[in-house]
Structure 1
């Protein structure tokens, strides 16, 4: 990616410097003659000049020319010589060179160092902190693309494809005319022109046909174009050229957008009425257009004032007669402190290249789904993206076939165009289900309130556990994604359970456990109770014995610990004896129990009721005339302390 593709000429003013002793090298660098500049800086280093500025420029000359091996070498020397005195930007570039040489482990390490040093001074710091997504996550993305290198590619730069009728227009440095007699000193290749290719029926290859337009091609760069939906208007990128190259006050020739109209009725396609778009400037670059499918919006790339990073994506409304609204930056969800480039808009999504979002190295292709606003961009992963520059993505979403550009080493030359077929990953939806149980008794808990939370704490849905402790959320969650389940129920400690969904569509089962707030509190058949030892009474008596008082004191202490607790007291007998007598005896015992608890400074209104049920609520089969042991009869002689609220 060594031509006007980077659209980042502004970097020269951001990171440039001037020293008289390296005047020749600096002049080459300022003109973007990076090959010549690199030779001059390396010569200075060989003579012993290892100043920070010279090492930075040596690395930059290769970095801007996408020679990551040589850039890595000089950045490595830079950081060895000046470990504590290098701007965060150079840690960022150094990390990228590791990706360029396929050392992702080191890239991850240096990205974190960049993030730490940049801190809040650079919006990329959070994106590259790798706290939420890491290089490994991008590397682990399921492959969606099959790529094929095209016949039209050459040893030079071929890129910027765009559909035109049933053909493909693209940009190339291949010499197809008689005025490519000079080379562009950035990379010692001929200047770019727009060419026309024939797409084969399978859309897998393209054959060169002819120069696209002699009216539009000049002696300098023309590249990256877009058409109106009716294909009667073309928008294209060109050097600031009007008979001669225009330059700003620093001598930099920026890029501009131009439009032209098709000439109707001719045998050959011709273009006329070339106009410069009104938001161009001699002071910054504008280029890489794409037009919305309804023809109402033009998206483009620029480093104009208001840019967040090196280059940002902007949009204008197309008003007709070469009139446009004011450019609007797409904002920090799309644009970063790095470079966002080569946008391509469809009805469903915005595709673009970026080195500001976390990727595999250089520029990566990202997809931002669109309905009412642009979603968080998603890296499209390997093999579409590589450790070098990948960009210029266009697609026919009806066939999932399209074209992308890359300067990966497996290509024919510099930048190559590849056809691709995308096999979209099956939409992976999950539902979260589970069972709530007691952490101690393992019994199932119904009536618990469960709240499903996203990773950033957003409430997605609430539900309750049903019979058997079962619960399920209707909200369809993403696969292989972390969530949290917050669970609450009276008498239990609130719990938060992490839930990472499965990698394939279906259900993710998440067991949830709750612990009661105190070991004396238990749940039986969905009812919370205070479980203490047996309350013994003398035969036919209802007064509280000392041994009974020691057990009841446990209830008193618990109620003092939880001042909002309200209970009811229920007393029961076994089946032996007269029914009416048992009912009266148990009722006297219940009320005696209540009186004792109140005597220990517990408010009377905190005991909702104290009722005896005699033998009417046996908990086993030991009814009248049924032979049972004393131990089994004892199970029915019980006092229960039921928690109404806490």
Structure 2
């Protein structure tokens, strides 16, 4: 499993929920190793400004900012690191440098570096999709029409506010704001108070929250609580907390306190004591739970062994007796070598945050359709919902298309802020048009019947090509759907070509189709060999010149070969047994080569005739050998030219 540190200041995003005591450290390395990154960044920067530009200091300086989501500062110091130590840097630092460049919006430089070092990243296991060189997809994403109206909430503070959950008629979220405890304890990672749960009311228009209150004195502790989800009845909560029991923090062998999922029941007038779920571990983190709408499945995030990258999304079934199935990884369609986190599930879609799929830098929000076959290709929700910073914790009411997400983008009130959104109606407004031309010469074919079929084979539109071979269906097509264009015309072979729409707006799908003349009756199989079958061609006595009547038949060969431009043939000419063997072989060979020359003269490439050979009387079709008494008809059966197909496609 690839262990990548992360770039968000929030503890639950990292796959490592380390908690430190209140010791004060003056040594930068000690502070860094204890995840006191803001303190360490200041110390390393002071060292660098005094002239210490060693690889160790520059790496730690860049990492300190990277792990606190300060992409601008991280990119600055990674650039200096890259310029001085490019040849000895591990692929991890190429990845980080590109990632920070994308996080600051410098896509030009990030793409340039990827073109040079992309293979090194691939060879080292950094198969993060957004870092792959795909200018066309990125251009489409940058130019996509916005689908969201967003608004920063009035309840946001100067510290972290994030991670909303629907709870009855309220919203539950996490915040580092002062919770009126007697002692405000500071989390050294980002020098902010620890996270607690709060509730808020939804205002009349659903675009803002108000009346913030503490959620539960039982569930809120002196350590972190975040990322909650509730059963449909609202009588049970699942949430993320530090590994914390009976006032004691559980740690692994390296002293790291990981994250666990806890659950509690509503007991009449208050929440009961929380207990952990059985698939937690002291050796890795499990968190960010999300229940399916019917409460039968629990999705979550973990860096457990077998994960694809920093963190992956998993799912367990919740059985009727309350027990859980074995965790199942959602697989490579969803999980990448980057980080996937903050799942939210509706009846038909999985929403999640990722920095491993094509995006703008940092975490972006994606949606994936859920069906009987699993999870569809993730779709980036685009700007303005996504930015070049971290955008995550998306929840939505699919009926109203209103919801909330969290972001540390510029222009907010604090570290992480909560934003509300309204999604505009999802219509692709895509159409399809194209043209139909002859396979043989690329000339347009008019008056072709063109049908548009849906994925289930229903004809949803029909039209005809004009004199230029063009057709156009102006009806709007559904998003991310499969269609088939079917063409037919008398004398031609019918053909079907499929295409698929995307989420992109106002796209005209171009489907060009080549149509082949219906010449199948001339292509036959004899004794397992494909041949072009025409009427026999005749030559004058003792002659090899192509007569007009023979040319008419050979023109059929030419037409077939033009319709099948990759077809290769060989020509074989045969005689009867009358005359000497040597003479017959010589004459038939001249006739075979004359036949080949005529076909070439009509525009067929000479390389498409593999050979033109006369066999004389060597391959008789009957018993009419030398000296045998045979009728004229029997002799004529042996006088033939054969056109054997060596290659068709």
Equivalence map 1:556-567=2 (5 Å): 563=569
CA deviation after TM superposition for structure 1 residue 5, in Å: 3.4
Equivalence map 1:263-302=2 (5 Å): 263-264=267-268, 266=269, 270-302=270-302
Other-structure match for 2:255: 251
**CA contact under 8 A between 1:151 and 1:207: conserved in structure 2?**
yes
Closer, same or farther in 2 for the Cα pair 1:128/1:102, shift >3 Å? closer
Q: Secondary structure at the match of 1:56?
A: helix
CA deviation after TM superposition for structure 1 residue 86, in Å: 1.7
CA deviation after TM superposition for structure 1 residue 473, in Å: 10
CA-to-aligned-CA distance 1:63-113 (integer Å, 9 cap, x gap) = 110111110111001110112222222222212222222222223333444
Closer, same or farther in 2 for the Cα pair 1:364/1:467, shift >3 Å? closer
Q: Secondary structure at the match of 2:399?
A: coil
Uncovered stretches (5+) of structure 1, i.e. residues with no partner:
13-21, 522-527, 536-541, 567-592, 606-642
Equivalence map 1:137-176=2 (5 Å): 137-176=140-179
Closer, same or farther in 2 for the Cα pair 1:75/1:431, shift >3 Å? same
Q: Distance in 1 between matches of 2:306 and 2:179?
A: 39
Other-structure match for 2:326: 326
Other-structure match for 1:391: 392
Q: Secondary structure at the match of 1:403?
A: strand
Q: Distance in 2 between matches of 1:122 and 1:450?
A: 46
Specify which of 2, 5, 12 is matched with residue 12 of structure 2.
Answer: 5
Closer, same or farther in 2 for the Cα pair 1:88/1:231, shift >3 Å? same
**CA contact under 8 A between 1:7 and 1:302: conserved in structure 2?**
no
Specify which of 79, 91, 101 is matched with residue 82 of structure 2.
Answer: 79
CA deviation after TM superposition for structure 1 residue 40, in Å: 2.3
Other-structure match for 2:195: 192
- Tell which deviates more after alignment, 144-153 or 498-507: 498-507
Closer, same or farther in 2 for the Cα pair 1:60/1:547, shift >3 Å? same
Closer, same or farther in 2 for the Cα pair 1:488/1:105, shift >3 Å? farther
Size of the alignment, in residue pairs?
Answer: 541
Closer, same or farther in 2 for the Cα pair 1:160/1:508, shift >3 Å? closer
CA-to-aligned-CA distance 1:123-156 (integer Å, 9 cap, x gap) = 5255532348532222122211011111110000
Q: Secondary structure at the match of 1:404?
A: strand
Q: Distance in 1 between matches of 2:231 and 2:393?
A: 18
Q: Distance in 1 between matches of 2:349 and 2:444?
A: 50
Other-structure match for 1:260: 264
CA deviation after TM superposition for structure 1 residue 117, in Å: 1.6
**CA contact under 8 A between 1:180 and 1:219: conserved in structure 2?**
no
**CA contact under 8 A between 1:435 and 1:465: conserved in structure 2?**
no
Other-structure match for 1:212: 215
Q: Distance in 2 between matches of 1:184 and 1:475?
A: 57
Closer, same or farther in 2 for the Cα pair 1:397/1:335, shift >3 Å? same
**CA contact under 8 A between 1:433 and 1:507: conserved in structure 2?**
no
Uncovered stretches (5+) of structure 2, i.e. residues with no partner:
1-7, 20-24, 523-531, 562-567, 573-594, 600-612, 622-642
Q: Secondary structure at the match of 1:84?
A: helix
Task: Answer 1 or 2: higher relative contact order, Cα 8 Å, separation at least 6.
Answer: 2
Closer, same or farther in 2 for the Cα pair 1:422/1:450, shift >3 Å? closer
Closer, same or farther in 2 for the Cα pair 1:124/1:164, shift >3 Å? same
TM-score (norm. length: structure 1): 0.72
**CA contact under 8 A between 1:451 and 1:487: conserved in structure 2?**
no
Other-structure match for 1:409: 410
Q: Secondary structure at the match of 1:59?
A: helix
Closer, same or farther in 2 for the Cα pair 1:644/1:96, shift >3 Å? closer
Q: Secondary structure at the match of 1:117?
A: helix
CA-to-aligned-CA distance 1:428-462 (integer Å, 9 cap, x gap) = 4544553324775946389999999x9xxxx999x
Other-structure match for 1:316: 316
**CA contact under 8 A between 1:556 and 1:600: conserved in structure 2?**
no
Other-structure match for 1:49: 52
**CA contact under 8 A between 1:89 and 1:114: conserved in structure 2?**
no
Other-structure match for 1:625: none
Closer, same or farther in 2 for the Cα pair 1:548/1:107, shift >3 Å? closer
Closer, same or farther in 2 for the Cα pair 1:43/1:443, shift >3 Å? closer
CA RMSD of aligned residues (A): 5.0
Q: Secondary structure at the match of 1:74?
A: helix
Closer, same or farther in 2 for the Cα pair 1:496/1:130, shift >3 Å? farther
